[in-house]
Structure 1
């Protein structure tokens, strides 16, 4: 198993699968299908005869049940193939630091990139581990190719181990998760699962059954344009209006000043000319009320700023992105409880956590597939400092296997 999951991971990360929010297609980039095709080949090779890639770039496959019980729920394991647009995923050169003995890790391709223990104290728990990083010039892609490698490795073990009793298990690999479209085209009827798990978390031992609720907010500002030489008392510069709105955002309600269960308002884009400007925001909170309060605050700030510009106007549009999956998972407590027990059986102390973000599981839960999130072992996602331990990936493989066994036992 040691070589299986790590070798798979190293094979997958060198394939560029970066998604593109500016693209209107699904998948947003055709290159995501390159990984999908390889995964289908490998799934077929280990005996999953229905493995296939659909037109949207999704990979579906089934590990057939090997139990005599007919009432075992069909469960799904899911991971996403794309990497984030935040940092380059082209030309990934994975490095393995074997038998890590502590201290900061300087990356060879860009020696200014240093994974510091002070920033990532989880490294203190990885003494003796083999740690995989990029060379510092790209992200690594552990988010979420570690999850893919773990599901693939577990599938091979389950297929080759008739003594491990389990029900039918569906595998789903998605595209475009990083740009919020990961499950837009998933065919849940074809998937045919009752419960699911995304392998998309971080620290070994963690099971997450709660995410942010999330909205996007777009503000369009219409100013008053006039020749700057004759602008006295007449011009209302849309760029200045946009700047004033951003300047009035509470400093203690930003991603960089919040943690734990605090939500935030985060400007993600600004563009404009004198006549018109556009602002994009993401708003996050663990509760629906907290989300609505932040959106009301953003509208109040905008209205107050525009009140100082009598000739200008604005429109504010809110778009729902995803909701806290805990609202669904609390109705099916066994999903998280079985995962925590699987972590325990795999030799770790389980930790129940909340995600300051979302996963495909957030939307799948509300689409009818209640879905918790399990650690994949990666850290420093979306950055050149991304790293994952071989041993932690192996623990994730064991967790998947134990989870399959538990669902069969408890049926």
Structure 2
């Protein structure tokens, strides 16, 4: 474990924030730089089949050290950080032996408070890595990368731990929903895999939302305001009417567990044209279909109410619930559960209220549940992770490799 934290602290210095408006892959230059650094690090570790492709997907393999057939398994993490907060000039700080109360972030007035984040009450005595209050930390998902490489390093250092072929994959642009776009499942070579991209210790997830995006495009007429009477149709007013037609109780801030939602994620407003960007989420296919139909119904209703101007709706599917593809292979989940328990970690099986690369990869023929990293509050300046949680994630990865080999021993 001695290299784990230094490795992580080095990784977060790379600015790898993905750019949703850029349709190249990767969407940001920093991801290319980080991918090249990871490629060189994997070569230095002596792994086989180390590759980096034109889209900055990095893959490698640790060859089996047993003389009987074991299915190749994989571990996957993403290189980009969220567009929701800056990932440039990240300055992490280590809070040793946290004893409660507010944590000052950097030199400003920003604090990490247990009043806002009550999970801190459960972390007394732990060593925390936080931001300085100006950026996100990047534990999502550089902690996952650091944990995977450290686990591989431990397997190399201790050949007494049996394992089959271990495939490693690092992807770009997961945060903007494109992490699996150019992932070569056949080249990767695993029969199943785990994304190391979860949150607090113990998380084990193989259910996620069915997801879609919706663009509500409001058309108006722009006229100079001095001569606008009877002529101007303000598309922003139309957009505001639509927002008020949507159910407030079915928004992210008012839902949890298996409850789906409509989320107004962004808007581009103007007199002649305004666009509302929504994401739709539901754990059931029928539920997502009902949400699409509901939005279309509201668009139709609003168009009937308007004497001037119009509204149109464009919906696109994003990803589906991996449960359909993982549940037929229960041993994949069981191996993760047994490994966590062996490491003294209580498995917390819960749905992902979002998506991961694993969701799309599962439908591409690579069943791929999600395992914790030990982090909290992803996508914002209050992101943090515990050193102990990172160490436990490494232990679980190593144990999954070992338990898989022992499971298939004749």
Q: Same fold (TM over 0.5)?
A: yes
Alignment match, 2:33? 34
Q: State whether residues 220 and 277 of structure 1, in contact with CA within 8 Å, keep that contact through their aligned partners in structure 2.
A: yes
Q: Deviations over 1:277-317 (max 9, x none)?
A: 22211001111111111121112122211212134333211
* Distance across 2 between alignment mates of 1:32 and 1:338: 32
Return 119-128 or 367-376, whichever deviates more: 119-128
Whole-Å Cα distance in 2 between the matches of residues 155 and 311 of structure 1?
Answer: 63
Provide the rounded CA distance (Å) in 1 between the counterparts of 2:364 and 2:372: 22
2:102 to 59, 83, 104: 104
Asked if the contact 1:13–1:140 (Cα under 8 Å) also holds between the matched residues in 2, the reply is: yes
- 1:85-96 alignment runs, 5 A limit: 85-96=83-94
Indicate yes or no: 2:138 matched with 1:141: yes
Does residue 10 of structure 2 align to residue 8 of structure 1?
Answer: no
Give the corresponding residue for 1:174.
171
**Residue 25 of structure 1 corresponds to which residue in structure 2?**
24
Partner of 1:76: 74
Distance 2:23 2:200 in 1: 34
Q: CA RMSD in A?
A: 1.4
Q: CA deviation at 1:234?
A: 4.5
Output one character per residue of 1:306-363: Cα deviation in whole Å (capped at 9) or x when no partner: 2121343332111111111111111111111111111101111111111111100011
Task: Determine the structure 1 residue equivalent to 2:401.
Answer: 404
3-state SS in 2 of match to 1:362:
helix
Q: Paired residue for 2:319? A: 322
Choose the corresponding residue for 1:153, options 145, 150, 153: 150
Q: Deviations over 1:8-44 (max 9, x none)?
A: 1011001111110010110001211211122122211
Alignment match, 2:66: 67
Structure 1 residues 330, 49: closer, same or farther in 2, change over 3 A?
closer
Alignment match, 1:293: 290
* Distance across 1 between alignment mates of 2:287 and 2:396: 34
TM-score, normalised to structure 2's length?
Answer: 0.96
Match of 2:347 among 344, 350, 356: 350
Aligned to 2:281: 284
- Report if the CA contact (8 A) 1:110-1:137 is conserved: no
1-side partners of 2:105 and 2:196: how far apart? 26
1:98 Cα shift? Answer: 1.1
Rounded to whole Å, the distance in 1 between the matches of 2:327 and 2:254 is 29
TM-score normalised according to structure 1 size: 0.96
Determine if contact 1:218/1:280 at 8 Å carries over to the other structure: yes
Which residue is 1:388 aligned to? 385
Distance 1:25 1:223 in 2: 32
Corresponding residue SS for 2:206: strand
**1:360 matched residue in structure 2:** 357
SS of residue in 2 equivalent to 1:210 = coil
Contact 1:18/1:85, CA 8 A, preserved across alignment? yes
- Superposed displacement of residue 246, structure 1: 0.8
Q: Is the 8 A contact 1:44 1:50 kept in 2?
A: no
C-alpha offsets along residues 345-394 of structure 1, whole Å, 9 cap, x if unaligned?
11111111111111000110011100000000110101111100111100
8 Å CA contact 2:207, 2:321 repeated in 1: yes
* 1:215–1:282 Cα contact (<8 Å) kept: yes
CA distance in 1, matches of 2:120, 2:222: 55
Would you say the 8 A contact 1:241–1:306 is kept in 2? no
Shift of 1:124: 2.7
Residue 192 (structure 2) aligns with: 195
- Pairs aligned (count): 408
What is the deviation of 1:84?
0.5
Of residues 199, 206, 209, the one that matches 2:206 is 209
Per-residue deviation at 1:104?
2.1
